[in-house]
Amino acid sequence: MHLGVVSSVPLEVDTGHKLNHLSEIQPSQTSEESADAFTPLSMEYPSDKFHEVVRGPLNYLLSAPGKDFRRQLISAFNQSLQVPADKLDVINHIVELLHTASLLIDDIQDDSELRRGLPVAHKVYGIPQTINSANYAYFLAQQELIHLKPDAFHVFTEELLNLHLGQGKDLYWRDCLICPSEEEYLTMVSQKTGGLFRLALKLMQLESDSSLDLLPLADKLGLIFQIRDDYQNLQSKSYTDNKGFCEDLSEGKFSFLIIHSIRSNPNDPQLLNILRQRSTEYSLKCHAVRYMESTGSFLYCRKKLACLVQEARDMIEGRMVDGQGDGIQKLLNYLDLSEE
Per cent of the chain over pLDDT 90 is 76
Question: Average pLDDT, stretch 308-321?
Answer: 89
CATH superfamily to which 47-205 belongs: Farnesyl Diphosphate Synthase (1.10.600.10)
Q: Which amino acid is at 121?
A: A
Q: Where residue 68 falls among pLDDT bands split at 50, 70, 90?
A: confident
State the Cα–Cα distance between residues 265 and 253, nearest whole angstrom: 18
- pLDDT at residue number 319: 80
Over residues 263-276, the mean pLDDT reads: 96
Confidence of residue 28 (pLDDT cuts 50, 70, 90): very low
Please give the Cα distance from 232 to 238 (Å, whole number): 9
pLDDT score, position 16: 45
One-letter amino acid of 186? L
Query: Could you read off the pLDDT of 107-137 as tens digits, one per residue?
Result: 999 999 999 999 999 999 999 999 999 999 9
Residue 217: its pLDDT value, please? 95
Does the structure show a pLDDT above 70 at 231? yes
How far apart, in Å, are the Cα atoms of 44 and each of 24, 41, 74? 31, 6, 42
84 φψ region: left (φ > 0), alpha (ψ -120 to 50), beta (else): beta
Please say if the pLDDT value at position 89 is more than 80.
yes
Q: Can you give the pTM of this predicted structure?
A: 0.83
Domain ranges of the chain: 47-205
Give pLDDT, residue 339: 60
As a dihedral over the C-alpha atoms of residue 262, residue 263, residue 267, residue 272, rounded to 10 degrees, the angle is 20
Q: Among 26-30, 103-107, 284-288, whose mean pLDDT is lowest?
A: 26-30
Residue-level pLDDT at 340: 57
**Model confidence at 43: pLDDT above 60:** no
